[in-house]
């Protein structure tokens, strides 16, 4: 506006005009500086906002890096059956004991047909039995007969059929659960277990995973006397203390995005109100390691 006013001044007032120009020149310069500076500031603000959004996205990405998803497709063994032949008595001596199982409609040491497709850590020795005492880490047994060293005390033994990639076979005949009394335990070492109550047993993940096997890790557990459902009992899964998942279906799951190094997995059986369901094995925490 000031420039237009200056241009349209009559020529016979040249002296006055020039004087006015000199008077307003500082103002013009100031306005020019401001007009140049403001867009820059706006751009800077814009840039800061974009950077902030970028950081927020990165943080959100970090927070949701670990995922837990149900595995829907896998080899089925609806008729597979496991039964125990030895020991015949559930009272056994301390020390080495022989366990013998009868396996029907299932081949130990076979590679499960879809092992390669699953992309999970797979045993080169094939299908096997997961043998668990007192909800401790399982032993993988590839033959139907094997020996175990048992300490004095009462022990809950769970054995179930496992695919070569360590996924449990879940049906009403695929497992055996027993209470063993080993030796003559003192009262403190005796265990009173209600096998009609709900129980949760941990299976996978376990040990160390490396290479491609560390990208997709199997989460698997075994349930007795309970069903999981939305609005009902569920398994509360916590990974590394802060990633929490509510599992409302008894199925195998894939964990992705865990960082290299040590990771903790916690499982807890809860009722629909979120209360812990009492039981000697219904809350468990394990540590696994991932390597490049």
Mean pLDDT of the chain: 86
Report the percentage of the chain scoring pLDDT > 70.
78
The residue among 267 and 62 whose pLDDT is bigger is 267
User: Hey, what are 230's tokens?
Assistant: 């939305």
Distance separating alpha carbons of residues 288 and 290, to the nearest angstrom? 7
pLDDT tens digits, one per residue of 37-65: 544 444 333 434 466 665 655 554 455 59
pLDDT tens digits, one per residue of 103-130: 999 999 999 999 999 999 999 999 999 9
| DSSP notation for 161-197 | EE-TTSPBP-STTSEEEEEEEES---GGG-----TTS
pLDDT in the model for residue 189: 86
- Nearest 10 degrees: Cα torsion 244, 250, 256, 258: 50
Distance separating alpha carbons of residues 250 and 227, to the nearest angstrom? 7
Q: Compute the average pLDDT of residues 249-257.
A: 98
Kindly report the pTM of this predicted structure.
0.78
Distance separating alpha carbons of residues 290 and 292, to the nearest angstrom? 7
pLDDT at 256 over 60: yes
Structural domains in the chain plus CATH codes: 69-291 (2.60.40.10)
């Amino acid at each position: 506006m000031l420039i237009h006013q200056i241009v349209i001044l009559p020529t016979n007032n040249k002296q006055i005009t020039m004087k006015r120009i000199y008077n307003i020149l500082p103002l013009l310069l100031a306005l020019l500086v401001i007009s140049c500076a403001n867009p820059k500031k706006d751009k800077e603000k814009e840039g800061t906002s974009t950077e902030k959004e970028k950081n927020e996205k990165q943080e959100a990405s970090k927070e949701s890096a670990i995922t837990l998803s149900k595995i829907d497709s896998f080899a089925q063994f609806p008729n597979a059956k496991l039964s125990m032949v030895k020991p015949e008595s559930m009272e056994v001596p301390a020390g080495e004991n022989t366990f013998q199982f009868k396996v029907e409609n299932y081949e130990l040491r076979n590679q499960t047909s879809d092992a390669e497709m699953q992309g999970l850590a797979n045993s080169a020795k094939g299908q096997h039995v997961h043998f668990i005492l007192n909800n401790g880490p399982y032993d993988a047994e590839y033959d139907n007969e094997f020996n175990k060293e048992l300490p004095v005390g009462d022990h809950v033994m769970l054995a179930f059929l496992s695919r070569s990639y360590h996924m449990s076979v879940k049906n009403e005949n695929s497992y055996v659960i027993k209470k063993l009394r080993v030796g003559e335990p003192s009262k403190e070492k005796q265990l009173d277990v209600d096998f009609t109550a709900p129980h949760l047993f941990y299976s996978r993940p376990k040990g160390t995973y490396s290479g491609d096997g560390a990208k997709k890790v199997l989460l698997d557990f075994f349930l007795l006397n309970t069903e999981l459902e939305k609005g009902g009992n569920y398994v509360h899964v916590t990974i590394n203390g802060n990633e929490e998942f509510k599992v409302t279906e008894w199925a195998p799951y894939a964990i992705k995005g865990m960082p290299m190094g040590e990771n903790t997995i916690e499982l807890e059986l809860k009722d629909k109100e979120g209360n812990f369901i009492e039981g000697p094995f219904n809350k468990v925490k394990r540590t696994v390691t991932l390597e490049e």
